[in-house]
């Protein structure tokens, strides 16, 4: 009998959402994604700790910011030995509202990969989906640096990313689910809000319908899952990036995972064209309390973990 993970692979590119090299080796994803929180977790494991020590030893006199990027790229290089596709490496979240800063750090990350013999076609540079981040991605994409727009919670963010012609977006499922569950409190009905009725699933499905209806080539990679039901409800999405724990559950469960999203159905949807200018973006984002709050929260969390990584780097200097 086919596992649900293998069945999912028939219609969706499976991506591992982790910096854990052993988990990537075990689950054989096509691509892998990382972020500051995942790298922070990974450096506290044996293999990750060895990478940190090596980076600091080989570049002892480099500024902390450079060492941080070198560490992220070191993980990426090791991951690319295990996956046939791409790795996503995140620009420092502390630059989320700095267009020029994002551009310069992204160029630096790509340069480090190229010095390691990795072509830019195998790297996605992750940038927060703020207005400033999206404009940085516009510049980078024009230079042939492919971008993965993260911390994306709303259609207006997705539309602005499409206008910037980014390579890929990562709309979050679980964090949207978290927000709505918290808002509902004791009135939350888990069974009624599962599967296609999950608010995070509905958000990604809406973006999928919009992109496919209007022929937008930007790839959609659902992210931030809380349970396998959310993953199954988005089968057919271009890509899904999944934690090792949920990959394990899918690999151990038998059965088919039929596609729930198809380009043919999406093209028949009633999605309406949305403007992508800055004023429309900021107004629509402001009107969406969930997206506004989760974007701000996500940036704060990634910044906090980047600061912790800085601390580990400094400690490794001795």
**Catalytic positions:** 126
Determine the Cα–Cα distance for residues 208 and 103; give it in Å rounded to an integer: 27
Determine the Cα–Cα distance for residues 38 and 40; give it in Å rounded to an integer: 5
Total number of residues shown for the chain? 318
Determine the Cα–Cα distance for residues 174 and 236; give it in Å rounded to an integer: 18
Helix (H, G, I), strand (E, B) or coil at 129: coil
What single string gives the DSSP state of each residue in 205-263?
Answer: HHHHHHHHHTT---EEEEB--SSHHHHHHTTTSSEEEE-HHHHHHHHHSBS----S--H
Determine the Cα–Cα distance for residues 111 and 176; give it in Å rounded to an integer: 35
Determine the Cα–Cα distance for residues 63 and 68; give it in Å rounded to an integer: 9
- 175 phi, psi to nearest 5 deg: -70, -30
Nearest to 291 by CA among 178, 123, 143, 213: 178
* Beta-ladder partners of 20: none
What are the angstrom distances between the C-alpha of 143 and each of 58, 103, 125, 146? 30, 10, 13, 9
Strands 13-17 and 239-242: parallel
Determine the Cα–Cα distance for residues 33 and 7; give it in Å rounded to an integer: 21
Helix (H, G, I), strand (E, B) or coil at 318: coil
């Amino acid at each position: 009998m086919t596992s649900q993970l293998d069945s999912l692979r028939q219609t969706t590119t499976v991506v591992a959402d982790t910096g854990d090299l052993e988990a990537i080796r075990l689950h054989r994803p096509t691509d892998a994604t990382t972020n500051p929180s995942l790298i922070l977790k990974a450096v506290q494991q044996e293999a990750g700790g060895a990478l940190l020590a090596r980076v600091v030893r080989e570049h002892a006199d480099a500024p902390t910011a450079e060492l941080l990027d070198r560490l992220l790229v070191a993980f990426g290089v090791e991951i690319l030995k295990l996956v046939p596709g791409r790795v996503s490496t995140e620009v420092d979240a502390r630059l989320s509202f700095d267009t020029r800063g994002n551009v310069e750090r992204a160029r630096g990350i790509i340069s480090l990969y190229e010095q390691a013999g990795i072509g830019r076609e195998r790297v996605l540079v992750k940038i927060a989906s703020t207005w400033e981040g999206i404009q940085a991605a516009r510049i980078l994409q024009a230079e042939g640096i492919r971008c993965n727009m993260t911390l994306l919670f709303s259609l207006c963010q997705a539309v602005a990313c499409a206008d910037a012609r980014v390579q890929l977006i990562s709309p979050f499922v679980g964090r949207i689910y978290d927000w709505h569950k918290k808002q509902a409190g004791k009135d939350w009905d888990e069974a009624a809000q599962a599967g296609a009725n999950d608010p995070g699933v509905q958000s990604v499905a809406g973006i999928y319908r919009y992109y496919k209806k209007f022929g937008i080539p930007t790839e959609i990679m659902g992210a931030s899952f809380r349970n396998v039901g959310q993953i199954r409800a988005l089968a057919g999405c271009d890509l899904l990036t999944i934690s090792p724990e949920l990959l394990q559950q899918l690999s151990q469960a038998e059965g088919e995972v039929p596609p729930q999203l198809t380009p043919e159905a999406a093209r028949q949807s009633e999605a309406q064209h949305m403007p992508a200018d800055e004023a429309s973006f900021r107004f629509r984002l402001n009107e969406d309390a969930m997206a506004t709050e989760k974007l701000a929260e996500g940036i704060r969390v990634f910044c906090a973990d980047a600061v912790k990584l800085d601390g580990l780097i400094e400690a490794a200097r001795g």
